[in-house]
Structure 1
Amino acid sequence: MTRSRLVRTVMWATLAFLYLPIAVVVVMSFNASSNLFVWRGFSLEWYPAVFQSAAIMEGLRNTLVVAASAMVLATFLGTLLAVGIHRYTRGGLIRAFAIAPALLPDLLLAIGLLSLFSLLSITLGLHSVIIAHTAFAMAFVAAIVLARLAHLDPSLEEASLDLGAGPARTFVRVTLPQLLPGVVAGAVLAFTLSLDEFVIAFFTAAPTTPTLPIAIYSMVRFGVTPEVNALATMLLFVSMLAVIGAQRLTRVTELIRT
């Protein structure tokens, strides 16, 4: 009983450590006072103020363009990379290299990408951020799809080929539907990672095309404002909706497949 209580105490303390700061941000986003440490009543005034900020709106537009583009590219390339590794390689060396960008420190990856862009004389802008985020998120997509591939039944593909379907048709009609839950999960993860990624974007973006995390950093250097709390709360709910939507879509695809 003592051990059980200790485990529960540690669990609840860990959850409080993780989520209490987030709860504070959410609560303070409804504070009527501009002073973050003084509660003066409930108010929604800071939420319209977010949309009236030119810096936030510009950063949001840039971030949505980058996140959507990186999600599509990373999902496509990461899925093909995972399928190629699963089918045509043996051992773990190439697999380790494929998912290395997900394990490397963001600072190291950012400096390496910036050096590569300089070597190739590629000007910085939204396109460079998209390339950088694609390289970063593609490793996560590949890892998720590889895990899904490990549980597929190879006899289904063999049966499709024996019945006269070509490799391309077999992949589209047999393999891809089975991979769809993993692909969807990888796409959602790629979008959310790109949405709030700061270090790589800071090194690979041009000063004239800041992403939303860069714009927020510029605002909080002199202190957190109520608008930032409101923006963080909205991003939190968007992320939660994306995760719930991905879970629902994954469940639907599983039901359709079965």
Structure 2
Amino acid sequence: MTTATETGPGAPDAGASATGSVRRPRGARRRPDWGKYFTWTVLCWLFAPIAFMVVFSFNDIAGRHNVTWEGFTLRWYSDAFAYPDLNVALLNTVTIAVLTMLIAGFLGTLLGLALGRYRFLGQSATNLVMFSAISAPEVVLGASLLSMFLTMNLAVGYWTILIAHVMFSVSFVAITVRARVLTMDPSVEEAARDLGATPLTTFRLVTLPLLVPAITSGGLIAFALSVDDFIITSFVSGSTQTFPLWIWGSTRVGIPPQVNVMGTLIFGLGVLLAVANTVLARRRSR
């Protein structure tokens, strides 16, 4: 049997038909990738306030109203701690955030491990409460916590801020850790036990290293939420000032450039922690 082979300009491309794709004709225009442009537009919109804060931390102004560019200077970084009450507020914010990261990281790790590995009575209710703490408006959480503290005759201040921050941050850590637990290969721990490792040794040498990226990520989320929180803190702070509360109070008389400097330093610290976490996670995965 003879097979005819079509040739000529109108014949289909054998290479294209074999691979299932059609070559783009020369001179044809590519369709614009609107999704990429939209993504970059949203990112630029989100990072615009941060860029404004960083740029105006170098603004050479004469007063407290740092809204008009008047020149470049580095003197605000050398004079960053000129306001004692602002320094106290920043110290309160950082210490509360660090304690929140440690306490919520510990409690959230245990909760996420239990929810991801075991089945127990009240697990559905625990999940409901955990997601309710995330989805509930901050005004509701702040008012509820204030009512609880007043009912218990607790004086609102530094420690009630810490309790409140741990309360709404622990759910984020637990969800992050639980997601990691659900994707872990149980055969790795079984192999350790088959080789004679005790449950404590298996957890310390096998389970915990596998959970470290999730624990670190959850802790960083708790740290960021604590530093950033204003609404809940305003309900339970009493006379204690934090960095967001101090900024809100200073808006009536003008925000000094030191606020931009401290905000830039806090943002830089957060970026460094995120980069360090990413680098360590990549090294562990190799």
Q: Normalized against structure 2, the TM-score is what?
A: 0.81
> Aligned partners of 2:44 and 2:206: how far apart in 1?
44
Q: 2:147 aligns with which of 115, 136, 142?
A: 115
Let me know the Cα RMSD of the aligned residues: 2.2
Distance 2:146 2:260 in 1: 31
Contact 1:79–1:145 (CA under 8 A) maintained in structure 2:
yes
Q: Is 1:22 the counterpart of 2:53 in the alignment?
A: no
The question of 1:79 aligning with 2:109 is answered yes
Q: 1:228 aligns with which of 244, 247, 259?
A: 259
Mapped pair 1:152 → 2:184: yes
Distance in 1, matches of 2:162 and 2:285, equals: 31
CA contact (8 A) 2:142 2:235 kept: yes
Verify the 8 A CA contact 1:60 1:211 in the aligned structure 2: yes
Structure 1 Cα separation of the partners of residues 67 and 220 of structure 2: 35
* SS state at 2:222 partner: helix
Matches within 5 A, 1:194-209: 194-207=226-239, 209=240
Q: Which has the larger radius of gyration?
A: 2
Structure 2: stretches of 5+ with no match in the other structure? 1-28
Q: 1:18 to 1:190 in 2, by over 3 A?
A: same
Partner of 1:47: 77
Please identify, of 35-44 and 64-73, the stretch whose mean Cα deviation from structure 2 is larger. Answer: 35-44
Shift of 1:137: 1.0
Deviation at residue 93 of structure 1 after TM alignment: 5.2
Aligned to 1:242: 273
| Structure 1 counterpart of 2:37, from 9, 12, 17 | 9
- The more displaced of 83-92 and 36-45 is 83-92
Name the counterpart of 2:8. none
Listed one character per residue, the Cα deviations across residues 194-239 of structure 1 (whole Å, up to 9, x for unaligned) are 12211121111220x2112111211123443322222222222121
Stretches of 4+ aligned residues off by more than 6 angstroms: none
Q: CA deviation at 1:112?
A: 1.3
Residue correspondence of structure 1 range 207-222 to structure 2 within 5 A: 207=239, 209-222=240-253
Matched, 1:186 2:213: no
Report percent identity of matched pairs. 36
Unaligned runs of 5+ in 1: none
The total of aligned residue pairs comes to 254
